[in-house]
Amino acid sequence: MSRIPLIVGNWKLHKTIRETSDFCRSLKEELLSGPNGPALREKKAEAAVAPPFTALSAAAQALENSPFHVSSQDAFWAEGGAFTGEISPKMLADAGCRFAIVGHSERRQFFHETDESVNKKAAALAAQGLIPIVCVGETLKERQEGQAFPVVERQIAEGLKGLAGMKPDALVIAYEPVWAIGTGQTATPEQAQEIQAFIRGLLEKIFSGPTAGGMRILYGGSVKADNIAELMAMKDVDGALVGGASLEVKSFARIVNGCIPNK
């Protein structure tokens, strides 16, 4: 089944409202007036930016009527209530989000995110019609101890519990080996493919074969303009979650251009 390539820029704790608006306007200009403008308008590939919560609305406004989307970097599962500091899926939809990243390794490492909380967040997002981007991936120690497959298997099984009824385009998985995030040490295309094919197999057990075949699995970890093409050449790499290289318009635009199928 054909899957539309997707590139998501995770800005982490970067950019003010003004910087976000300027970035989004320049990104539209850069990509839509370039050689791949028509392909992007025809949705041959998709791109989204994930600014901090404060700048989500500004990004949505700046990208209105364009083929580009907005993602949050996290979400909470409750619709409302006494949860100081949290943001609900309904609020994210209201701010103009289409996607929401959940389970990023930085949230797992620094903010006590667990497979259980990832699962609650993904379910709440899906119920609101938002597309969760569920991040999974092993640490360097886990890889060295031969635990990469069991760790990813547990994160997928626990993180997607109870979500079996989802449609192919309602869920995105991001495989992000923790040792490759922000280190400049990208996984080789073969390493990414090996785990992402494994993830596809896990999705087939949870969802039907055709559904799993239509779900996008992104790779994340030191993706740059000069390595996106070799990663995209892998059968089960359907796009990328990009950190550092998404902060600058030209660099992010080159990555988006690099994921467009040249057929």
Quick check: 176 binds ligand PEP (CB under 6 A)?
yes
Question: Structure tokens of 195?
Answer: 């785990």
Quick check: 181 binds ligand PEP (CB under 6 A)?
yes
Burial of 99 (0-12, 13-18, 19+ CB in 10 A): buried
> Cβ closer to ligand PEP: 40 or 245?
245
Quick check: 202 binds ligand PEP (CB under 6 A)?
no
Reference 9, options 44, 77, 43, 55; nearest CA is 55
Taking the complex as a whole, the smallest distance from the CB of residue 106 to ligand PEP amounts, in Å, to: 7
* Residues 234-253: x where in contact with ligand PEP by CB under 6 A, - otherwise, as a string: -------xxxxx--------
> Cβ closer to ligand PEP: 5 or 243?
243
Question: Is 248 marked active-site?
Answer: no
Quick check: 56 binds ligand PEP (CB under 6 A)?
no
Taking the complex as a whole, the smallest distance from the CB of residue 3 to ligand PEP amounts, in Å, to: 20
DSSP-derived secondary structure for the chain: -----EEEEE--S---HHHHHHHHHHHHHHHHTSTTHHHHHTTSSEEEEE--GGGHHHHHHHTTTSS-EEEES---S-SSSS-TT---HHHHHHTT-SEEEES-HHHHHHS---HHHHHHHHHHHHHTT-EEEEEE---HHHHHTT-HHHHHHHHHHHHTTT-TT--GGG-EEEE--GGGTTTS-PPPHHHHHHHHHHHHHHHHHHS-HHHHHHSEEEEESS--TTTHHHHHTSTT--EEEESGGGSSHHHHHHHHHHTS---
Nearest residue relative to ligand PEP (C-beta):
243
**Binding segment for ligand PEP among 55-63, 156-164, 191-199, 214-222 (CB under 6 A)?**
214-222
Quick check: 223 binds ligand PEP (CB under 6 A)?
yes
Task: Compute, in degrees rounded to 10, the torsion defined by CA atoms 112, 241, 167, 72.
Answer: 60
Taking the complex as a whole, the smallest distance from the CB of residue 223 to ligand PEP amounts, in Å, to: 5
> Cβ closer to ligand PEP: 214 or 244?
244
Quick check: 129 binds ligand PEP (CB under 6 A)?
no
Task: Compute, in degrees rounded to 10, the torsion defined by CA atoms 74, 122, 203, 150.
Answer: 60
Give the binding-site size for ligand PEP (rule: CB under 6 A): 13
Taking the complex as a whole, the smallest distance from the CB of residue 256 to ligand PEP amounts, in Å, to: 14
Question: Is 14 marked active-site?
Answer: no
Catalytic residue among 104, 106, 113, 138: 104
Q: Which of 51, 52, 214, 220 binds ligand PEP (CB under 6 A)?
A: 220
Catalytic residue among 46, 106, 138, 176: 176
> Cβ closer to ligand PEP: 132 or 244?
244
Quick check: 8 binds ligand PEP (CB under 6 A)?
no
Task: Using CB under 6 A, list all residues that contact ligand PEP.
Answer: 10, 176, 181-182, 220-223, 241-245
Q: What residues act catalytically?
A: 104, 176
